Structure 1
Amino acid sequence: MPSVTDAAKRLLVGRPFRSEKLSETLLPKRIALPVFASDALSSVAYAPDEILLTLSIAGIAAYALSPWIAVAVVVVLLVVVASYRQNVHAYPSGGGDYEVATVNLGPSAGLTVGSALLVDYVLTVAVSISSGAQYAATALPFLRGHEALFAVGLIVLLMTVNLRGVRESGTAFAVPTYLFMASVIGMGLWGFGRWLFGDLPQAPSAHLELAAEHDISGGLTSLAGVYLILRAFSSGAAALTGVEAISNGVPAFRKPKSRNAATTLLLLGLIAVTMLMSVVALANLTNVRFAEDPSVQLLDDGVPVGDSYVQDPVIGQLAATVFDHFPPAFYLVTAATGVILVLAANTAFNGFPVLASILARDGFLPKQLHTRGDRLAFSNGILALAGAAIVLVLAFDAEVTRLIQLYIVGVFVSFTVSQLGMVRHWTRHLRTETDAAARARMTRSRVVNSVGFALTGLVLVIVLLTKFTQGAWIAVLAMAVVFVNMRLIQRHYSSVARELAVPDDPAAKALPTGVRAVVLVSKLHKPTLRALAYARAARNTDLQAVTVAVDPQETRALQERWERLGVPLPLTVLDSPYREITRPVVDHVRALRERHPRDLVVVYVPEYVVGHWWETLLHNQSALRLRARLRYTPGVMVASVPWQLSSSAGMEDRHEPAAPGVVRRGTWGPAPLEHEEAARPSGRGGGEPRDRHEVGQDEQQEQGRRA
C-alpha cells in the first residue's frame, strides 16, 4: 500500500513513464510554439509599457519616438530570429548558445553563456509571474498588497504542471497562448478598422496631461535625450527574451527536429512583430498616457491625479478603448494577457532544466540535474528554477519595475557570444568546404550571423550603459557568481575523477592479501548472532568479536553468557574508562589496520530495521556516529547487517521503488549498538551462529561471491 506522500505525488505528478516512452513526449509544432514562444510573445504585454514609461520622463513630446523605437526593436528581433534559424540547423543537440560558444570559442565562453542563460531564465520566471500577479491585482482588488504571495503560489502551480512532463505542460498551455495571440491580433485588426472608418475613440487616460519628470536640457537631441532614447530602446528590447529557448529545446521537437524548430522560430518572429507593432501603433492612435510616476506626472486640469489614481497597463487601456461597445471582448483580452504573463514563465521551465542537464553532463553543475524524473522531465532542474524564482519574487516584492532592470542583460550576453561563435563556425567550415553551392550557403549564413553579432553586441552595450546603475549590476554579479561556482564544481568533479581513476601500474591493481572482520557486539541477541553468522560465512582471513566495556557489570554478564552459549569465537573486550563507544572501536580498527596494512578490514554492524520514524528515537544512535567516523579511515569498510523488527513487516510493499531522477530517501534506520536487555533467542534461530562445518555449502558460496 503506497504511503500518503507517494499517493499525493502520484495525484499531482502522475504515474511514472518508462524510458522508452521518451519519443512519445516529443512535441509537434502546434504544441512547441506555445511551449517555447510564450515568453517572447508575452513580452508584448510589457515591452510597450516599458518604452512609453521610459519616454514619459521627458514628457509627452517624447511619445512621438515610440513607433521608431519599436521599429528598431523589431529589426533586432528579426535579425536574431534569422540568426537562430542558422543555430538550430548547425547545432540541433539542444546545447543552444552554450554548445555554440563552447565548440567555437572555448569552455570559458561557453560557461559565460551558460551562467548568463541560467540567471536570465530565473529572471524570466520572476518577471513574468510578478507581471501576471499585478494584472491579477488589477482585476481582483483584494489581491492588492499580496502580489508577492500570489506570485509564489503561481510559481508552485507552474512547477507542478511542468513536473508532469513537457508534453503535458505544453498541451495545458496551448489554448491560453493561442487565445492571447488571437485576442491581441484581433484587437489590433478591430482597432485599425475603427480608425480607418474614423470611429476609434480616445484612451481613458488621453485627457490627462503628461508632465516631464526631468527637464531634458537641449531636448531629445542632446546627450541626455539620446541617453533616454537608448534607455527606452533597451527596455523595449525585452521583447527579444525567449527567442533563444527554441535553440535550447530542439531535442523536444518531433522529427525533422531542426526544420520544425526553424519553422517555429519563424512563426514566433512574425507573430511577435505583428503584435508588438499593433500595440505601439494603437497606443499612439488612442493617445495612451503611461507614466513612470503617475501620481505626479499625470495631471487632470493641471492638478496631479494623486496616489488614488490606478494606472492600467497599456493593453488594458487599449482593450477598454477598442472594445468600449463590447465589454466581454475587453475582459477576454485582459484575462488572456494576465494568463500569458504567467505562462511566459513556462519557456524558462522548459529551457532551464535542459540547459542545466547539459551543464551537469559536462560536470559544471551537480550530476542530479542530468537525470530525468518520473515523467521523463528534468525534475531537479524544475525544482531548482522554481526555488530560485521564489527567492527573487519575495526579495523584490513582485515589483516588475524593479525586476525589469535586472532583465535582458543575460539574454543579450548569450545572443552576442552565440552569434560570434556562429561566425567562427562558418569560417572554420569554409576553410575545408569545396562544393560551390555549399560554400555559397555558408557564406550567406555567416553574413546573417555577422549582422546578428553586430546588432546584439550593440544592444548589449546599450543595455549595460543604460541599466547598469538601475539594477543590472545585480544580474551581472549573479552571472559572475554562477560562473565561479560552476568552475569550482567542475574542478571538484575533475579532482574526484583523477583520484578514482585506475592507474596503469599493475601493483596498484593488486587485491588485498586478506580480509580481517570485526563484528561489533553490544549484547548477545539475534541481530548479533546474524552478524556473526554472515561474517563467518564470508570466509574472512581473521574474525574478531569486539565489545566495549562501558559498564563493568554488563560486560561481565555478556562474557558469562557468551561462554555459556558456547559461541565458537572469542570475545574481545575494549576498555573505555570514559564510557565512550566510538573512540575505542575506531582506535582498535586503526591499530588492526596498521598491523596489517595490506589487508582489508570489514566492520560488521548489527542494524535494527523499524517501521515507524518515531521508533528510531527510542534506540541508541552510537552506531551512526561510529559509522561516520569509520568512513574516513582508509582500508576500512562498514557492513550493515539488518534485523527486521515486527513493526517493519510489509514496509517493502509500502515504499514504491524510486524511479530515475527521484532523490532517494533514506528509509533505513541507523544501526544502534543497543545496551538494553533483549529477548533471549530460543533454540537455534536463523541468526544464531553455527559451527563452521554446519554452514551449508550453497550459502557459503553465495556469501563468498557477495564478499
Structure 2
Amino acid sequence: MMNKFKRLLIGRPMKSAEIEGEKLTKLKALAVLSSDALSSVAYGTEQILIVLMAAGFAAVWYSIPISIAVLGLLLILILSYRQTIFAYPTGGGAYIVAKTNLGEPVGLLAGGSLLVDYILTVAVSSSAGTDAITSAIPSLHDHRVLIALIMIVFLTVMNLRGVTESASVLAIPVYLFVIAIFVLILSGIIKFATGGVHAAAPALGTTVSNVSLFLLLKAFSSGCSALTGVEAVSNAIPNFKQPSERNAATTLIMMGTILGAMFIGISLLAYWYGIAPNPKETVVSQIANATFGRGTIYYIIQGITALILFLAANTAYSAFPLLAFMLAKDKFMPRMFMVRGDRLGFSNGIINLGVLSALLVILFQGNTENLIPMYALGVFIPFTLSQLGMMVRWVKLKPPGWRVKFIINTIGMLTTLTIALIFVFTKFTHIWMVFIFLPIVIYIFYQTQRHYHNTAEQLRIDVIRDKPIIKGNTIVVPIAGITQVVKQSIGYAKSVTDNVVAVYVGFNDEEIERMEKKWEEWDPGVRLIVLRSSYRSVLRPLMKFINTVEWKTSATDHITVLIPQFITKHWWQHILHNQTSLVLRAYLFNQKNVVISTFPFHLNK
C-alpha cells in the first residue's frame, strides 16, 4: 500500500545509468535555477520604496538611481560568478571558493550561510506568492500560512520526482512570467508615453530635506534583495549537460540580462505611475491595475506572478541538496545527504529543506517583510566571502589578465560587504537570529566531522596483524511461558551452540513452582533459570542476570540474548504484543558486550 502510494507520488525507481538523462539543458536550467532571482522582480522595487517612504512621497524619485546602482552590482556579480564557474567547474560556489582560498572555517561560514539562505528562500518565496494571491483575493488573507504550506509540499514532491521532470513542469510558468512582465512593462511604457497616466510623481532631482546618505544606503541594500539567487547557477554546475561549465556560464548571463531588464522596467513604471507601497497590495499589482484595470489581463499577471513567487523556491530545491552533498562529502553533514533517491535526486536534502522551510513559515506566520532581511543577509555573506576568495585566488595564481578580474572582485566584495553591514546595523531586530543560528550550524558541522573522524579511527584495522578473535557463544533466551514461539526460539538457539539457557522471571512462589514443573515435564534439553521479582519488574532481575553471565564468560564467550517476538498479521495488532521485548532491546543496545538477536514468530490470524 505504502509502496504504491510512493510510486504514485514520485514515479518509478531509476537506474544509476540514467543519471546523464537527468542533466539540464540551458533553457531548463534557466527555469529551475533562475526562478528565485527572476521572481525577486516582484518585490525588489517594493523594498526600495518602503524605505524611501520614511522620508515622504517626494523621495520616491531616488528609486531610479538606486535601481541603476542595483543593476551595476548585478553586473559585477554576474561577471564574478562567471569567473567562479570556470575556476571551480565541480560546483559548490561560495563554499568551495571560500574553503579553498580562505580556509575551512570561512568556507563553513559561507556554506552554513547558503544553507540558511536556501531554507529562507523557500519560506520567503512561498510567503511572497501567498501575498500576491491575497492582493488579488483579499478574502484569503487569513489563510496565507496554509496556502504557503500547501505549495511547499507540492514543490517537495515535484523535486522528489527528479530534476528533469520538475524542470519540464516548472519551465512553463517561469517563461510565462517573463513574458507577462515584459508585456506589462511595454504596455506601461506605451500608456505613459501616450499620456494615459496622470500621476503626480516627483521630478527627478527634487530636493528632499530629510533624505540622508544612510537612508539611501538602506534603500539600496533593501533593493539588493532582488539579487538573491544569482549564485545558484555556480552551485549547481554538475546538474548541467556537457560542457557543463560553458552551459552554466551562458545560463548565468541569460539570467542576468533578463533580471536586469525586468527590474529596471518595474522600477521605472513604479516611479512614472507614482506608486506608493501598500501593505495590502503589491507594487506589481498596483502597476498592473493602473495599466490594464482589474480585468482579465490583470488577473492573469497576478496569477502568474503568484505562481512564479511560489516556484522561486525551486531554485533552493536544486541548490540545497547539492551543497549538502558537498558538505557531507567533507564529513560536515550526515552521510545520508550523499545518497541518491529512487529518482536519482538527493532526496534527503530535498525533504529536509521542505520540512525546515515549512517550520519557518509557521514560526513567522508567512510574514514576508520579516523574512526578507534575514533572507538577504544570508546571501550577502556568501557573496562577500566568494568575492574575497576569488581575490585571493587571482593574487596567488596571477593568470593572464588577472588584474582586471581582481578589480571586478574587489569592487564586488566591497559593495556586498557594505550591504551586509547596512543590513546588520539597520535591521538588527529582524536578523539577530542569524547570529545565533549560524554559530550553531558551524558548531554542528565540526561536531559531525569530529564524530566521523573518531568513528573511522575506531574502525580502522591493520590487515596484517588484526585477525578475528574466535570465541564461543552463550545464548540467553528470555521466556514468559512454554509456547510455540519459545519452542522454535530454543530450537534455533541450540542449532547455533550447546550453551543455551532459558530465563523466566516469576512474581510469586505459586507461579514459579508451576513454571518449574511444566518445564521439567517438557524437558527441551535446555537449563531453566528462574528469577524472583519482588517488585513485579521483569527487566531489572533479567538485566542483573545477563550482566552476571557477561562478567563471568566475556573472556571466552560472546553473550547473545535471543528475544522472541510476535509478527502480527495486521499492523494495528502490533501494539497488543512485544512491549517487554521492545524495552529489553532498547536497554541492551547500551550494553557493550551483549549481542541482541530477535527470533520472529509470525501470527497467521
Decide whether the 8 Å contact of 1:50 with 1:236 is kept in 2.
yes
- 3-state SS in 2 of match to 1:601: strand
- Aligned positions of 1:247-646 closer than 5 A: 247-290=234-277, 312-323=281-292, 327-430=295-398, 439-469=399-429, 471-502=430-461, 506=465, 509-539=467-497, 542-598=499-555, 599-646=557-604
Give the superposition deviation at 1:620. Answer: 4.9
Match of 1:43 among 24, 40, 45: 40
One-letter identity of the residue aligned with 2:231: E
Query: Aligned partners of 1:618 and 1:287: how far apart in 2?
Result: 70
Q: Does the 8 Å contact 2:121/2:316 carry over to 1?
A: yes
Post-superposition offset of 1:629: 2.0
Q: Does 1:82 align with 2:79?
A: yes
Letter paired with 1:586:
M
Provide the residue aligned with 2:95 in structure 1: 98
Report whether the alignment pairs 1:246 with 2:233. yes
Amino acid at match of 2:408: V
CA 1:535–1:140 in 2, change beyond 3 Å: closer, same or farther? same
Partner residue, 2:139: 142
Structure 2 SS opposite 1:448: helix
> Could you tell me which amino acid in structure 1 is paired with residue 292 of structure 2?
F
Deviates more, 1:232-241 or 1:8-17: 8-17
Q: Would you say the 8 A contact 1:57–1:291 is kept in 2?
A: no
**Is residue 38–residue 343 contact of structure 1 (8 Å, CA) maintained in 2?**
yes
- Residue 681 of structure 1 is matched in structure 2 by none
Unpaired stretches in structure 2, ≥5 consecutive residues: none
Check 1:588–1:68 CA distance in 2 against 1; reply closer, same or farther (3 A cut).
same
Q: Secondary structure at the match of 1:75?
A: helix
C-alpha deviation, 1:96, in angstroms: 1.9
Native 8 Å contact 1:230 1:466 kept in 2: no
Q: Which residue in the other structure is 2:118 paired with? A: 121
Match of 2:197 in 1: 201
User: Is residue 201–residue 273 contact of structure 2 (8 Å, CA) maintained in 1?
Assistant: no
Larger Rg over CA atoms: 1
Q: How far apart in 1 are the matches of 2:320 and 2:295?
A: 39
Alignment match of 1:66 (pick from 63, 67, 79): 63
Aligned-pair CA distance for 1:8? 2.9
Contact 1:512–1:600 (CA<8 Å) still a contact in 2? Answer: no
Cα distance in 2 for residues equivalent to 1:184 and 1:620: 62
CA distance in 2, matches of 1:394, 1:517: 52
What SS does the corresponding residue of 1:608 show, helix, strand or coil? strand
**Paired residues of 2:136 and 2:299 also in contact (CA < 8 A):** no
Superposed CA RMSD: 2.5
Cα gap change, 1:331 to 1:513, in 2 (>3 Å)? closer
Tell me: CA distance 1:428–1:535, structure 2 relative to 1, closer, same or farther (3 Å).
farther
What's the counterpart of residue 130 of structure 2?
133
Structure 2 residue matching 1:600: 3-state secondary structure: strand
Residue number in structure 2 paired with 1:670: none
Q: Greater helix percent: which structure?
A: 2
Give 1:52 shift: 1.4
Q: 1:237-267 CA deviation, whole Å, 9 max, x = no partner?
A: 0111001111111111111111111111000
Give 1:444 shift: 4.5
Change (3 A) 1:268 1:585: same
Q: Secondary structure at the match of 1:384?
A: helix
Confirm or deny: 8 A CA contact 2:135 2:282 kept in the other structure.
Answer: no
CA drift at 1:419 = 1.6
Letter in 1 for 2:524: V
Code of the residue aligned with 1:226 in structure 2: it is L
Offset, 1:277 = 0.8
Q: Structure 1: how far apart are the matches of 2:44 and 2:208? A: 27
**1-structure distance, mates of 2:479, 2:12:** 44
Q: Distance in 2 between matches of 1:355 and 1:189?
A: 39
Length-normalised TM-score, structure 1 = 0.80
Tell me the distance in 2 between the aligned counterparts of 1:420 and 1:374. 39
Of 16, 35, 38, 1:19 maps to 16
> Of the candidates 185, 200, 213, which is equivalent to residue 226 of structure 1?
213
Cα shift readout 1:338-360 (whole Å, capped 9, x = no counterpart): 11111111111222222223223
Q: Which amino acid aligns with 2:423?
A: V
- Offset, 1:95: 1.9
1:175 Cα shift?
0.8
Give the alignment of 1:658-669 within 5 angstroms. none
CA–CA separation in structure 2 for the residues paired with 1:356 and 1:34? 22
Answer whether contact 1:17 1:375 (CA < 8 A) is retained: yes
The yes-or-no answer on 1:177 pairing with 2:174 is: yes
2:158–2:166 CA contact under 8 A, matched in 1: yes
SS of alignment partner, residue 492 of structure 2: helix
Is the CA contact 1:234–1:466 (under 8 Å) kept in the aligned structure 2? no
1:413-463 Cα shifts (integer Å, max 9, x gaps): 001111212222333334xxxxxxxx3155544443333323322322233
The letter of the residue matching 1:68 is: P
More off after superposition, 391-400 vs 240-249: 391-400
Gaps of 5+ in 1: 211-215, 293-310, 431-438, 648-707
Instruction: State the 1:397 CA deviation.
Output: 2.1
2:126 paired with 1:167: no
Cα distance in structure 2, aligned partners of 1:289 and 1:632: 64
- CA offset at residue 468 of structure 1? 2.2
- Deviations along 1:57-101, one digit per CA (max 9) or x if unpaired, are 112331221111001111111111111111122222232211221
Distance 1:121 1:230 in 2: 25
**Following TM superposition, by how much is the alpha carbon of 1:558 offset from its aligned partner in structure 2, in angstroms?**
3.4
Q: Contact between 1:37 and 1:268, CA under 8 Å: does it hold in 2?
A: yes
Query: How far 1:317 sits from its partner (Å)?
Result: 2.2
Q: 2: distance between equivalents of 1:631 and 1:397?
A: 42
Given that 1:363 and 1:490 are in contact with CA atoms closer than 8 Å, whether structure 2 keeps it comes out as: yes
CA-CA distance at 1:535 after TM superposition: 1.8
Q: Deviations over 1:505-530 (max 9, x none)?
A: 94x65514322222233322222222
Q: CA deviation at 1:556?
A: 3.3
In 2, the alpha carbon distance for the partners of 1:236 and 1:555 equals: 80
- Equivalent in the alignment of 1:689: none
Q: Distance in 2 between matches of 1:348 and 1:618?
A: 44
Aligned equivalents of 2:562, 2:515: Cα separation in 1: 19
Counterpart amino acid of residue 337 in structure 2? L
Give the aligned length: 601
| 1:241–1:411 Cα contact (<8 Å) kept | yes
